[in-house]
Amino acid sequence: MSEAFDSRARVHRAMVMLGALAATLALLLSVAGVAAAGGTVDILEEDERYSFEPGEITVAMGETVTWQNGSDAPHTVTSDTAGGPLDSPELAEDDSYQETFDTAGDYAYHCEIHDYMQGVVHVVDMPPTDALGAVDDSGRLPAPLMALVALLAAGVAGSLIMFRLRKSPRTI
Ligand SMILES: [Cu+2]
């Protein structure tokens, strides 16, 4: 009776451990995904005035900023400097616009329709925003993350083997 209980407890412990490993892995992958996504600026209306939220955003070189029109009026995302990188068409409600910034600097922009709408993108020359490195252009996971996944898989396999070895003398 106590043996059956022990075995159930061991199965339970193994399940908890696997769950914790899976949760850790999911968290790491989502962190990498967030870093690769860059930033998002929402276009919002409050008291009949429109604004870019946040008005200032900081991203690393190579990252992409997405503007999302969450208001029912048309807007543009237009560089203050002629010939600047930001030059969207009129964005209708729920339309979005993206720009990837490969050069460090401050990019001021406005809306052509509502000239009081102003924003700045700060692009800084630094490694991707998470410690593990962002997903590169090929879509593959970066090497440190791959190594971690391999390590976790080895740990799971190892604990399963240990579990079976310890259990087998009794069942045979
Ligand atoms: Cu506007």
Over residues 81-137, the pLDDT tens digits come to 999 999 999 999 999 999 999 999 999 999 999 999 999 999 999 865 555 554 444
Relative orientation angle of helices 2-37 and 143-171, to the nearest 10 degrees? 170
Total Cβ atoms within 10 A of residue 56: 13
pLDDT value at 29 more than 70: no
Using a CB cutoff of 5 Å, list residues around ligand 1, an ion: 50, 75, 111, 113-114, 117
CA of 56 to the centre of ligand 1 (A): 16
Angstrom distances, CA of residue 64 to CA of 13, 35, 36, 165? 43, 10, 8, 50
Calculate mean pLDDT across residues 22-47.
Answer: 69
Supply the pLDDT for residue 9.
74
Amino acid at 83: G
Q: Which of 111-115, 144-148, 154-158 has the lowest mean pLDDT?
A: 144-148
CA of 91 to the centre of ligand 1 (A): 9
CA of 93 to the centre of ligand 1 (A): 11
CA of 115 to the centre of ligand 1 (A): 7
Q: How far apart are CA 162 and CA 30, in angstroms?
A: 30
What is the pLDDT of the chain when averaged over all its residues? Answer: 79
